[in-house]
Structure 1
Amino acid sequence: MVPFDAHAWLLTDPETSVGSAPVAQVPCLPELPRLIRLKYLTDVNRWTTIGEVALLREATGGDLSRSLLWRELLADYDVSDVASLVFVDRYGCWGFLDLWRMGADARFSRAEARFLAAIVDPVTAALRRCQADTFVERPARAAHPLGPVVLLLSPDLAVLGQTPETEGYLRTLIPPEHGRAPIPASAYNVGAQLLAVEAGVDQNPPTARVHLADGLWVTLRAARLGGAEAADKRDIAVSIEETSAAERVTLFGRAFGLSARERELLGHLTTGTDTRELARRMFLSEHTVQDHLKSIFTKTSTRNRRTLLTRALGT
Structure 2
Amino acid sequence: MSGRERILRLCEAGGDARELRLRLLDELRATIGFDAYAFLLTDPETSVGCAPIADVPVLRELPRAIHLKYVTRANRWTELRDVALLSDLPDRSVSPLWNDLLRHHGIRDIASTVFRDRHGTWGFLDLWRRDRDFTPAEAAHLAGLTAPITTALRRSQAATFVVRPPHEPRSEPLVLVLSPDMGVVGQTPGTHAYLRVLVPPEHGRPAVPAGAYNVAAQLLAVEAGVDDHPPRARVHLADGLWLTLRAARMEGAVAVTIEESSPAERLSVFCPAHALSARETELVGLLSKGADSHTVAATMHVSEHTVQDHLKSVFAKTGTHNRRDLLARALGA
TM-score, reference length from structure 2:
0.89
Asked if 1:117 corresponds to 2:165, the answer is no
Alignment of 1:47-66 (within 5 A): 47-58=77-88, 60-61=89-90, 63-66=91-94
| 2:51/2:235 contact within 8 Å kept | yes
Inter-CA distance 211–75: structure 2 relative to 1 (3 Å threshold) = same
Who is 2:165 aligned against? 139
| 2:41/2:52 contact within 8 Å kept | yes
**1:207-253 deviation line (CA, Å, top 9, x unaligned):** 0000011100000000011x4xxxxxx20000001101111111100
1:269 positional shift: 0.2
2:54 aligned partner, one-letter code: A
Asked if 1:129 corresponds to 2:155, the answer is yes
**1:58-87 deviation line (CA, Å, top 9, x unaligned):** 0x12x2111111111011011111000000
| 1:147/1:165 contact within 8 Å kept | no
**1:233-279 deviation line (CA, Å, top 9, x unaligned):** x2000000110111111110010000011101100001111111101
Counterparts of 1:147 and 1:35 in 2: how far apart (Å)? Answer: 31
Asked if 1:187 corresponds to 2:212, the answer is yes
1:145 aligned partner, one-letter code: R
Alignment of 1:215-226 (within 5 A): 215-225=240-250
1:180 positional shift: 4.6
Inter-CA distance 177–82: structure 2 relative to 1 (3 Å threshold) = closer
Match of 2:293 among 275, 290, 310: 275
After TM superposition, the structure 1 stretch with the greater mean CA deviation from structure 2, 168-177 or 190-199, is 168-177
Give SS of 1:211's match: strand
1:145 positional shift: 3.2
Who is 1:41 aligned against? 71
2:239 aligned partner, one-letter code: D
| 1:153/1:161 contact within 8 Å kept | yes
Counterparts of 1:5 and 1:168 in 2: how far apart (Å)? Answer: 31
Asked if 1:207 corresponds to 2:235, the answer is no
| 2:170/2:259 contact within 8 Å kept | no
RMSD: 1.2
2:142 aligned partner, one-letter code: L
1:148 positional shift: 3.5
Asked if 1:238 corresponds to 2:256, the answer is yes
Counterparts of 2:204 and 2:69 in 1: how far apart (Å)? Answer: 29
Give SS of 2:156's match: helix
1:181 positional shift: 3.6
**1:143-201 deviation line (CA, Å, top 9, x unaligned):** 56364410000111111111111011011111223565421000000000000001110
Give SS of 1:15's match: coil
Structure 2 gap ranges (5+): 1-30
Who is 2:45 aligned against? 15
* 4+ residue segments displaced more than 6 Å: none
The structure with the greater share of residues assigned to helix is: 2
Alignment of 1:29-108 (within 5 A): 29-58=59-88, 60-61=89-90, 63-103=91-131, 106-108=132-134
| 1:21/1:186 contact within 8 Å kept | yes
Counterparts of 2:196 and 2:127 in 1: how far apart (Å)? Answer: 26
Aligned residues: 303
Counterparts of 1:286 and 1:133 in 2: how far apart (Å)? Answer: 29
Counterparts of 2:207 and 2:98 in 1: how far apart (Å)? Answer: 27
Who is 1:231 aligned against? none
Who is 1:230 aligned against? none
Who is 2:7 aligned against? none
Asked if 1:26 corresponds to 2:56, the answer is yes
Counterparts of 2:71 and 2:195 in 1: how far apart (Å)? Answer: 24
Counterparts of 1:24 and 1:288 in 2: how far apart (Å)? Answer: 47
Give SS of 2:269's match: helix
Give SS of 1:100's match: strand
TM-score, reference length from structure 1:
0.94
Inter-CA distance 110–178: structure 2 relative to 1 (3 Å threshold) = closer
Asked if 1:157 corresponds to 2:182, the answer is yes
Counterparts of 2:221 and 2:268 in 1: how far apart (Å)? Answer: 25
Give SS of 2:79's match: coil
Percent of aligned pairs sharing the same letter: 61
Asked if 1:171 corresponds to 2:196, the answer is yes
Inter-CA distance 143–130: structure 2 relative to 1 (3 Å threshold) = farther
| 1:148/1:165 contact within 8 Å kept | no
Counterparts of 1:217 and 1:187 in 2: how far apart (Å)? Answer: 15
